[in-house]
Each structure stands twice: as C-alpha cells, then as structure tokens.
Amino acid sequence: MDRIDHKIITLLAEDCRRSLADIGAGVNLSPSAVNERIRRLTASGAIRRFTVEADPEALGLPVTAFIWVALAPDSDEAAFRSFAQTRPEISECHHVTGPWSYLLKIHSPSLAGIEAFLSTLKERRFLARSETMIALSSPVDPGFSPRGDL
Amino acid sequence: MDRIDHKIITLLAEDCRRSLADIGAGVNLSPSAVNERIRRLTASGAIRRFTVEADPEALGLPVTAFIWVALAPDSDEAAFRSFAQTRPEISECHHVTGPWSYLLKIHSPSLAGIEAFLSTLKERRFLARSETMIALSSPVDPGFSPRGDL
DNA sequence: GCTGAAACGGTCATGAC
DNA sequence: GTCATGACCGTTTCAGC
C-alpha cells in the first residue's frame, strides 16, 4: 500500500469506469501493472467493492434519519448487529462511545417509514430508549448504495 | 424510473463492473437497452457516480468519529457548508433537527487528528459547542470513498 | 428496444529488469 | 517480485430497423 496504490484508489473513487490506460497515465504505469495492483487491492480488502452511488430521492427514499439507540439491558447485542446487517434501510450502524450504544443511519420513503422502523426495534425488545434526528439537508453525503434487494 | 431501473441500480450497487449482458439477463433486456438506461440514470442524477468503496483502515484512517456541531450564533452558515465540502476528512455533513445544527462524520488517522480538526473548527469561529463520539466498531458501514486528493 | 458490426478495453502469456 | 509488451477475446457502442 504505497503512494501509487493510494492514488489509484483516489482515481477509482472519482470514477471507477476509467480505463486502465487512463489510470496508468496518472501514475506512470502500464495498464497491466495497474490491473495487477487493483487486483491486489481488491483481494486484500483495501477496495471493498466497485459500486454506484445513487441519489436516495430518485430511489424513493427522500427521508434520511439518524437514530441513537440505547440497547435494552437484557437484549442480545449479537442479534441486534445481525438484525442491522439484514435491514436494507440501515445504511450505517456504528457502535459508539458516549451515552448511547449505537448510531443508525436510515433511508426511508417517509416519516411514517421511520416510525415503523422504530416500532420494529421496540417489538424486538432491542430498545431501552432512542432519539431520532432527521436530516434537513446534506452538504456532504455519499448518498445511497443499496445493499441487498431493498 | 421504473422497477427495471431500480433493479439495475441494485445490481450495479453490488458490482458496477458486471457486463451489460449480465445485467440484461437479470432484467430481461438486451445489453444495448441496459446501456441506454444506465446512460439515462446517470444523466438524470439518479446514479451520482461509479466509484469504489475503500477500507478506511487500509487508507490509514482507522478512526471514525461523529461530531455534533452547534454553530456559533454569529457564524456564517454558508461558509461552514463550503468549508465542510472542501475538507476531505469529512465524509458526511448533515443539517439535522434537534438541539444540534450539524452532524459530521470524520475519518482520521488518529485521535490526535480529530483533536486537530476540532481546533480548526474553533479557530474559524464556527463552534458554539460540540460533542464527539468515536465509532468503536461498525456492523454496517459503507466505508470510505475519497473525495478529492486526500 | 433489438440486432449486428466495429472499435475499444480488459486479460493473460511472455520476457526484461 | 514487479513491470512492459502485444495478441486475444469479451464488452461496449452505435447505426439501422
């Protein structure tokens, strides 16, 4: 993972469809050398996946919400984590320091969808308490990259 | 934006390097028809960009932090927004409901980097107050897609 | 939106350093 | 071990329908 690998990842992040020749011109390497580096970066996990950033609104998900979750004392934390991984509306789930257990980022078609999601958390007895903040606008946002089939 | 466009975006999100023929097989369309749809989805902004998801740790950014920001009463909010857009360590910036003005997601090489970032916010007189939470682990996280040159 | 042909680009074997 | 060259072949692209 040297400076060249770094540059390659930056170039791919901007546009992962540029040709190996283009990238090679940017890092003074032949297409095949670039290809080999990309193969290694992908194999090592430095590049997780080639994907598209979509506009959540275009996908019918105009509401972005952040939910602070305090897990119920008797809840199964491993179960919560796998729950989070299987719900496509959760685009992020972080175990964080501070008074809350987890921070979730949710994409939803409507506020009613957020309410329904909170109901699900309650039904499954994960929640001790929670706090929800709605994103009004997002000057910087990676958007949405659907995991699974939505 | 019909069901087929939706499916195409989902398939591209999983792996945007699959061939038009592969995608076509998944949606019962010819490669050229798929290509035309992708072109339209990109032109309309439904697909923002073709990119790679990188592992922040591999890029030397093992620390993920969320910073709640309350803007100083006399601060220039437009300036804060463009500041946020130009700082590569900010991977998300959301204007949110609730007691705080903004939520930032930061990738940093170290805790010292977070401290330095907070100092910058103070120096620029953006901050009334802030609260920082460090991500301990992330069961669901899109990772990092470098904007700009880092 | 499909078909078919042409241009392009990714891939891999080979050889140099 | 890493990289460049060049030929092969799958893929994208575009014209015509």
Residues of B in contact with A91 (CB under 8 A): 140, 142
CATH number for the region A3-44 comes to 1.10.10.10
pTM for the predicted model, two decimal places: 0.95
Percent of chain B past pLDDT 90, that is, above it, reads: 97
Residues of A in contact with B149 (CB under 8 A): 10
Check residue A59 and give left, alpha or beta (phi > 0: left; psi -120 to 50: alpha): alpha
At residue B50 the predicted structure's pLDDT band, cuts being 50, 70 and 90, is: very high
Residue B11 above 70 pLDDT? yes
Percent of chain B past pLDDT 70, that is, above it, reads: 99
- Which helix (H) or strand (E) segment is A64 a member of? strand A63-71
Same CATH fold assignment for domains B3-44 and B63-134: no
CA A140, chain centre distance (Å): 14
- Which helix (H) or strand (E) segment is B34 a member of? helix B31-44
At residue B150 the predicted structure's pLDDT band, cuts being 50, 70 and 90, is: low
By C-alpha distance, which of A110, A124, A17 is closest to A61? A110
- Work out whether the CA dihedral A90, A92, A97, A98 comes out positive or negative: negative
Which token pair is B121? 């916010």
Residue ranges covered by each domain of chain B: 3-44, 63-134
Q: What pLDDT does residue A150 have?
A: 60
Q: Do B51 and A149 touch (CB under 8 A)?
A: no
More confident residue, B8 or B148: B8
Task: For A63-134, give the CATH class.
Answer: alpha beta
Residues of A (48-107) whose Cβ lies below 8 Å from B: 48-55, 58-59, 64, 66, 81, 84-85, 90-98, 100, 103
Residues A67-101 pLDDT 10s: 999 999 999 999 999 999 999 999 999 999 999 99
Average pLDDT, chain B: 97
Mean pLDDT in residue range B21-34: 98
Which protein residues have a C-beta closer than 7 A to any atom of strand D? A 4, 24, 28-33, 36-37; B 19-22, 31-32, 35
Q: Are B58 and A1 in contact (CB under 8 A)?
A: yes
User: Could you tell me the distance in Å between the CA of residue A115 and the C1' of nucleotide C11?
Assistant: 50
**Smallest Cα distance from A92 to chain B, Å:** 5
Residues B123-143 pLDDT 10s: 999 999 999 999 999 999 999
User: Could you tell me the distance in Å between the CA of residue B149 and the C1' of nucleotide C16?
Assistant: 34
Which residues in chain A land under pLDDT 70? 149-150
